[in-house]
C-alpha cells in the first residue's frame, strides 16, 4: 500500500505519516526500488492507533510511550492505566482552567448591560487590579 492509500485508510495525512516517521514515532516502512514507502495492514493499525491517541488528547511524548507499550506484548496493564490516569489529570486541569475563565466571563457578561452606552463591567474588570470575580451571587463558599 502506498502512502496515499495508507493516509486514506488511516485518516492521517501523508504529510503527517512522514512526519511521524521522521520523529521516530512510527517505524520507517520498507521502500520500493524507486523509493516509495510501502505499508502493510499492521502499519495502518499503528497509524489508526496514533490518530485515536491524538484524538484523546495525548501529547506526542505520551504517544511515544503508548506506542511502545502497544508493541510490547509483555507490558503490564498498570503502566497503561497510570499513563491514562495522568492524562485524565492533565485534562481535568485544563478543563478547570478553561472553566474558571468561562465562569469569570459569564459573571462579567451578566453584569454588563449590553446596550448602546459605553459603561461596561467587562472592560472595567480588565482595567483594574485582579479582584475576586468568581460567581459573586454565591456567598456560601462552596465551589
Q: Which residues bind DNA (CB under 7 A)?
A: 2-5, 7, 13-16, 18-19, 23, 31-37, 54, 59-60
Site string for a second copy, 32-71 (x = CB under 8 A): -------------x--xx--xx-xxx--------x--xx-
What gap in Å lies between CA 128 and CA 79, rounded to an integer? 47
Q: Decide: 36 and 42 in contact? Cβ < 8 Å.
A: no
Which alpha helices (H) appear in 23-120, and where do they start and end?
41-55, 60-71, 77-111
Q: Which three cell numbers stand for residue 90?
A: 492533565
Sign of CA dihedral 2, 29, 17, 49: positive
Q: Min. distance of Cβ 12 from DNA in angstroms?
A: 8
Q: Which does 53 bind (CB under 5 to 8 A by kind): a second copy, DNA, none?
A: a second copy
Q: Which of 32, 33, 42, 117 binds a second copy (CB under 8 A)?
A: 117
What gap in Å lies between CA 120 and CA 22, rounded to an integer? 51
135 sits near a second copy (criterion: CB under 8 A): no
Sign of CA dihedral 92, 97, 100, 102: negative
Bridge partners for 31 per DSSP: 37
Q: How many Å separate Cα 96 from the centre of its chain?
A: 15
Q: Which does 104 bind (CB under 5 to 8 A by kind): DNA, a second copy, none?
A: a second copy
| C-beta closer to a second copy: residue 14 or 56 | 56
Q: Which residues of this chain interact with a second copy, rule CB under 8 A?
A: 45, 48-49, 52-53, 55-57, 66, 69-70, 72-78, 80-82, 84-85, 87-88, 91-92, 94-95, 98-99, 101-102, 104-106, 108-109, 112-120, 122-123, 125-127, 130
Amino acid at each position: 500500500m502506498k502512502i496515499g492509500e495508507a493516509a486514506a485508510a488511516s485518516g492521517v495525512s501523508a504529510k503527517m505519516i512522514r512526519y511521524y516517521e521522521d520523529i521516530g514515532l512510527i517505524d520507517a516502512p520498507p521502500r520500493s526500488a524507486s523509493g516509495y514507502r510501502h505499508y502493510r495492514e499492521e502499519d495502518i493499525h499503528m497509524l489508526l492507533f496514533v490518530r485515536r491517541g491524538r484524538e484523546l488528547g495525548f501529547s506526542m511524548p505520551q504517544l511515544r510511550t503508548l506506542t511502545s507499550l502497544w508493541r510490547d506484548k509483555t507490558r503490564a496493564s498498570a503502566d497503561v492505566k497510570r499513563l491514562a490516569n495522568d492524562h485524565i489529570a492533565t485534562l481535568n486541569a485544563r478543563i478547570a482552567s478553561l472553566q474558571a475563565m468561562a465562569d469569570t466571563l459569564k459573571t462579567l457578561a451578566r453584569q454588563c448591560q449590553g446596550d448602546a452606552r459605553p459603561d461596561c463591567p467587562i472592560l472595567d474588570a480588565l482595567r483594574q487590579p485582579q479582584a475576586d470575580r468568581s460567581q459573586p451571587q454565591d456567598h456560601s463558599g462552596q465551589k
